Structure 1
Amino acid sequence: MGHRTGRTEPTATSTPPAGKRGGRVAPTTASTPPAGNRGVTDTPPIAAAPPPGPGLDLDLDPEQRGIAVLAVLASVCAVAVSAVVLALVLLPGPSKSTPLAPAAASSTAAVASGPGCHGAGCEGRSPLAMLCAPRPDTITQRETATGAWVELRHSKICGTTWARMWGGRIGDRIEFVVPGRAGSGHAAEVGNAVEADTYVYTMMAVTAPGTAVRACFLPAGATGTGKRECFDGRVT
């Protein structure tokens, strides 16, 4: 021990190592990123694309993809056609109040307008032109040996009777007469193909209830009375 002079020499304190001065742990700084990555921030990963739905397969080759497209179009067309068919089925049907057929309509109009003659004024005139033909009575109807039909008709509104024929051939002839009355005979003949396919009428004779009438058919080319077919009737 040395001689004390009354002044104490200060003792040097030891310097703590870096990072532990004062007994505290110095905070560590963030590590410096490499020079090549400075200024780049981390980004969240991109979500993966969802798998394709039930539609077309994206991995199909062009030929298979074309077939798939055609299949889809065919399905769409089938649905459209089904919708159209369903609509047609569900549409309301035609109205029950359908218009009259041309013949019925003309007959109705004729009845509404009235006949063009009556009684003696109808003698020797056309039942069609005088509007006596709508809704007449049929006195008798017969089929001839050739297949033609002959009919005696009577109109109450006109007070007349006449004969008509259908199903005949060109040259076939029909005659009408009131037996015992002079000048009451009338005749008509099939002159062309149009008349052969429709009705041929004689002119009218005035008749009252109870009058006897007769219609005779003469086929084309007939000679003598053996070919004539006659049918009698009586007005009621």
Structure 2
Amino acid sequence: PPATTAPAATPSLPEGVRCTGADCGGLDPEDMGCGGPLATTVDRMRLGGALVEVRHSEACAAAWARISGGAPGDEVSVQAGTAIQVANVLEGGDSGAYTAMIPVPSGSAARACAALSGGEDGCTGG
């Protein structure tokens, strides 16, 4: 008889986590339970008065970028390979923003970039 393959086991996710890997692509890390204590900053840089970070959640196998201390119109992005997600600091909001997630096996596979409304731009080393 032909060999049958058992279905792949679904990984057990921590309580509150609602996606992992490719299923997290394009989704909000906070809404999906990937932020907070399940996320770490794996790279960061200062650009002007803003702090730009690559955040990674091992449980979700995904990364995103966060900017704090920014100004309205500042843009932050996270990139890995051809995947990219972008967010902007909004007028009337706080001085921060974060992108949607991109699936990555490790945080070192992603980099964060920012373009400030004052004309400065740069990326983390990832």
- Alignment TM-score, normalising by the size of structure 1: 0.45
> Can you list the C-alpha shifts for 1:56-110, whole angstroms capped at 9, x where unaligned?
xxxxxxxxxxxxxxxxxxxxxxxxxxxxxxxxxxxxxxxxxxxxxxxxxxxxxxx
Pairing partner for 2:99 from 186, 196, 202? 202
Q: Tell me the amino acid that sits aligned with residue 98 of structure 2.
A: Y
Partner of 1:193: 92
What amino acid does structure 2 have at the position aligned with 1:137? T
Aligned residue identity for 2:122: E
Q: Residues 171 and 221 of structure 1 are in contact (CA less than 8 Å); yes or no, is this contact kept in structure 2? A: no
In our comparison, the structure showing a higher alpha carbon Rg is 1
Deviation of 1:167 (Å): 0.4
Which blocks of at least 5 consecutive residues in structure 2 are unaligned?
1-12
Determine if contact 2:14/2:59 at 8 Å carries over to the other structure.
no
For residue 163 of structure 1, what is the aligned residue in structure 2? 65
Distance 2:18 2:110 in 1: 23
Q: 1: distance between equivalents of 2:94 and 2:107?
A: 32
Matches within 5 A, 1:75-114: 113-114=15-16
Give 1:113 deviation, angstroms: 3.4
1:143 alignment partner in structure 2 = 46
Partner Cα separation in structure 2 for residue 142 and residue 211 of structure 1: 14
Q: Which has the higher contact order (CA 8 A, sep 6+)?
A: 2
Query: Does the 8 Å CA contact 1:123/1:204 hold for their aligned counterparts?
Result: yes
Question: Residue 122 in 1 paired to residue 15 in 2?
Answer: no
1:212 and 2:109 equivalent? yes
Answer yes or no: is 1:152 the counterpart of 2:45. Answer: no
- Are residues 172 and 117 of structure 1, via their aligned partners in 2, closer, same or farther at CA, if it must alter by over 3 Å? same
Tell me the SS of whatever aligns to 2:23: helix
SS of 2:124's partner is: strand
Equivalenced residues, count: 113
The letter for the 1-side match of 2:115 is: L
2:124 aligned partner: 231
Partner Cα separation in structure 2 for residue 210 and residue 113 of structure 1: 22
**Which structure carries more helix by proportion?**
1
Moved over 4 A (4+): none
Report the Cα distance in structure 1 between the residues aligned to 2:93 and 2:107, rounded to whole angstroms.
35
- 1:8-63 per-position Cα deviation (integer Å, ceiling 9, x unaligned): xxxxxxxxxxxxxxxxxxxxxxxxxxxxxxxxxxxxxxxxxxxxxxxxxxxxxxxx
Alpha-carbon contact 1:115-1:130 (below 8 Å) kept: yes
